[in-house]
Amino acid sequence: MSSIWIIARREFTENIFSLRLLIGLVVCLALFVASTYVLMEDYEKRLNAHNAAEIGHRNALEAVKVYSYLRVEVTKPPEPLSVICLGMERQLGSTVKVSYEDVPTETKILGGGNPLLNVFSAVDAVLMVQIAFSLFVISIAYDVICGERERGTLALVASNPVSKYHILIGKYLGGMASLLVPLAIGWIAAALLINLNPMIEFDPAEWNRFVLLFAALALYLSVFFLLSMLVSAITGRSARALVWLLFLWIVIVFIIPNGAVYIAKQVRPIPSKSVVNIESAALRTAFREKIRDYGAKHRSGSYFTSERSVISGNLPFAFHVLTGSREAMRWYLDGAKFYIPHRIEYAEQIGNLHQEYYHSLKRQTTLAENLSRLSPAWVYYNISAGLSGTDLRRHERFIQQAQDYRKALMAYMQEQGAFSTINWFTSVNLNDMPSQAGLAESDEDAFFANVTPKSWDDVERLDLSGMPVFSGGPAWGNVALGGALPDLVYLMILNIPLFLITGAMFLKSEMR
Per DSSP, helices labelled H in 373-416 are 376-388, 392-415
pLDDT at residue number 117 = 40
3-state secondary structure of 320: strand
pLDDT at residue number 114 = 44
Q: What does the alpha-carbon distance between residue 21 and residue 38 come to, in Å, rounded to a whole number?
A: 25
3-state secondary structure of 244: helix
3-state secondary structure of 71: coil
Q: Is residue 414 part of a domain?
A: yes
* Cα angle for residues 247, 249, 254 (degrees, 5° grid): 100
Q: Is residue 182 part of a domain?
A: no
- In DSSP terms, which residues pair with 75 in a beta bridge? 95
Contact (Cβ atoms closer than 8 angstroms) between residue 170 and residue 6? yes
pLDDT at residue number 5 = 85
Q: Is residue 76 part of a domain?
A: no
- Long-range contacts, stretch 397-401, CB < 8 angstroms, 24+ apart: 397/473, 397/476, 397/479, 398/76, 398/94, 398/96, 398/107, 398/472, 399/96, 399/104, 399/105, 399/107, 401/470, 401/471, 401/472, 401/473
Contact (Cβ atoms closer than 8 angstroms) between residue 56 and residue 96? no
Q: Which among 4, 496, 498, 7 has a CA at the least distance from the CA of 231?
A: 498
Residue type, 199: M
DSSP string, 176-189: HHHHHHHHHHHHHH
Contact (Cβ atoms closer than 8 angstroms) between residue 87 and residue 391? yes
Q: Is residue 286 part of a domain?
A: yes
In the chain the first and final C-alpha atoms are separated, in Å, by 24
Q: What does the alpha-carbon distance between residue 457 and residue 399 come to, in Å, rounded to a whole number?
A: 35
Please state the domain count of the chain. 1
Please enumerate in sequence order all residues whose Cβ is within 8 A of that of 440, keeping only pairs 6 or more positions apart, or say none: none
- In DSSP terms, which residues pair with 268 in a beta bridge? none
Contact (Cβ atoms closer than 8 angstroms) between residue 35 and residue 123? yes
Please enumerate in sequence order all residues whose Cβ is within 8 A of that of 263, keeping only pairs 6 or more positions apart, or say none: 367, 368, 371
Residue type, 105: T
Count each helix (H run) and each strand (E run) in the chain, helices first: 18, 4
From residue 26, give the alpha-carbon distance in Å to each of 19, 20, 141, 283, 463.
Answer: 11, 10, 18, 60, 60
Sign of the dihedral through C-alpha 305, 309, 314, 316: negative
**H or E stretch including 38?**
helix 19-62
pLDDT along the chain (512 residues), means of 10: 81 82 78 87 91 92 93 92 88 88 79 44 79 89 84 71 82 91 87 91 89 94 95 88 94 94 92 90 95 90 72 76 85 94 95 92 92 94 92 89 94 94 89 74 58 77 92 60 82 93 82 58
Q: Which among 449, 447, 438 has a CA at the least distance from the CA of 327?
A: 438
Q: What does the alpha-carbon distance between residue 504 and residue 497 come to, in Å, rounded to a whole number?
A: 10
Q: What does the alpha-carbon distance between residue 150 and residue 163 come to, in Å, rounded to a whole number?
A: 20
Q: What does the alpha-carbon distance between residue 423 and residue 135 come to, in Å, rounded to a whole number?
A: 66
Contact (Cβ atoms closer than 8 angstroms) between residue 80 and residue 206? yes
Nearest-10 Cα torsion for 230, 233, 239, 243: -20
Contact (Cβ atoms closer than 8 angstroms) between residue 475 and residue 205? yes
Q: Which domain holds residue 452?
A: 276-374+392-458
Contact (Cβ atoms closer than 8 angstroms) between residue 73 and residue 96? yes
Q: Is residue 84 part of a domain?
A: no
Q: What does the alpha-carbon distance between residue 394 and residue 410 come to, in Å, rounded to a whole number?
A: 25
Residue 319 CA neighbour count, 13 Å, CB half: 9
Contact (Cβ atoms closer than 8 angstroms) between residue 24 and residue 182? yes
Residue type, 295: G
pLDDT at residue number 1 = 59
The DSSP call for residue 387 is H
Q: Is residue 57 part of a domain?
A: no
Q: Is residue 445 part of a domain?
A: yes
Is the pTM higher than 0.85?
yes
Query: How do 305-310 and 318-324 pair as beta strands?
Result: antiparallel
- Long-range contacts, stretch 398-402, CB < 8 angstroms, 24+ apart: 398/76, 398/94, 398/96, 398/107, 398/472, 399/96, 399/104, 399/105, 399/107, 401/470, 401/471, 401/472, 401/473, 402/74, 402/96, 402/98, 402/104, 402/470
Q: Is residue 432 part of a domain?
A: yes
* Cα angle for residues 318, 324, 328 (degrees, 5° grid): 65
